Copies of this chain bind each other. A is one copy, B any other.
């Protein structure tokens, strides 16, 4: 479809970000903004502050008023520059949301997020059709977890893998240095339900050198067994001075229970994770009497923009531009997807999938990519993931630290109904 064939839809555009940030979610935002400015049928380009919350309260900023310096800086700035949320609205919120959309003549809505956000985008699209509100809704993929359906991979994943594999390689070299005692080094990474991130650490391996770590990788898709783990560690230590283990925060035992939690629920009602690494540390120190040390990369994984993948960054930007072009072309109720054309040389294109095929679905780590031992990852996965970390984003440094941008929030559209204290 072209602008001609579907008829031009004139009006304003709204973009929002949702869920846990990635280091490239703002690159996608920059892509949306830059492409939107190319199309005269889009009048104003607004950003909704804190995702859907901003839409409920009419808390928008006028993105065209932000400086070119800031829009350019978005391409390497971590966090969600518009603010994010994990808020799931009720059906009853739709009336309020559409009141705000209508009042601001929003005819294009771009929602950058993971599977929960795609569900929200789908619901908004369906409601618009139902009430005859003429608006085009396009979802843009984003998640470090890489668990979005249909798309080959999600922007955000390549960068977290690049950071985790870099860090694993660096920790391995430190581990290798110590000559006093056998050592087990445990790195805990994100992944409540899936092992995509932990598995990506396999890239740190340098087969045939002293740095062939990580030696063991544990992911939530395979039940974790204490005794098997200890046996595997001992086997690694027969040939190595140290054993580097990478573990997803969400590993579970055969009964499906997390191996260790704080017992606390977070404000989203989810069990507060953390403690997987300490569980493994205790096992090693108490049973094998070998020193074990832990690193929990935590939030740094999804915010380490100083170590971002250039390919991931560029794809994130292109997903943003594709979303706008698709909407201009008359598409709605779709999410942008990345289609892999080939592994080597890597080639990809951009397409669309119905939001309903993505919304709320989870793509687990393929069982075929876990080797028989359950603690290592196959070379097929290596071929899949390797292209995603290629190239380095050059972040400007000032005074010895990376220089990131934030919106000035010039000309806020409507005084906020959004209450900081909830």
Contact = CB atoms under 8 A, between A and B. Distances in A.
Interface of A: 17, 21, 49-51, 53, 77-81, 83-87, 162, 165-167, 169-171, 173-182, 185, 187, 203-204, 209-211, 241, 262, 264, 266-268, 272, 274, 278, 281-282, 285-286, 291, 293-300, 302-307, 309, 386, 389-392, 397, 399-402, 404, 406, 418, 420-422
A84 B178 contact: yes
Contact of A264 (B264, B285, B399): B285
B401 A162 contact: yes
B173 A77 contact: yes
A16 B402 CA distance: 34
Given A267-B180, A400-B390, A420 B241 contact: yes
Given A274-B278, A295-B296, A298-B295, A50 B179 contact: yes
Nearest to A391: B400
Nearest to A300: B167
Contacts of A179: 49-51, 53, 83-85, 418
A170 B404 CA distance: 9
Nearest to A23: B170
B83 A177 contact: yes
Contacts of A406: 173, 209-211
A360 B263 CA distance: 43
- Chain B CB count within 10 A is highest, among A86, A182, A267, A420, for A267
Contacts of A203: 400-401
- Chain B CB count within 10 A is highest, among A77, A169, A175, for A169
B295 A299 contact: yes
Nearest to A170: B303
A294 B296 contact: yes
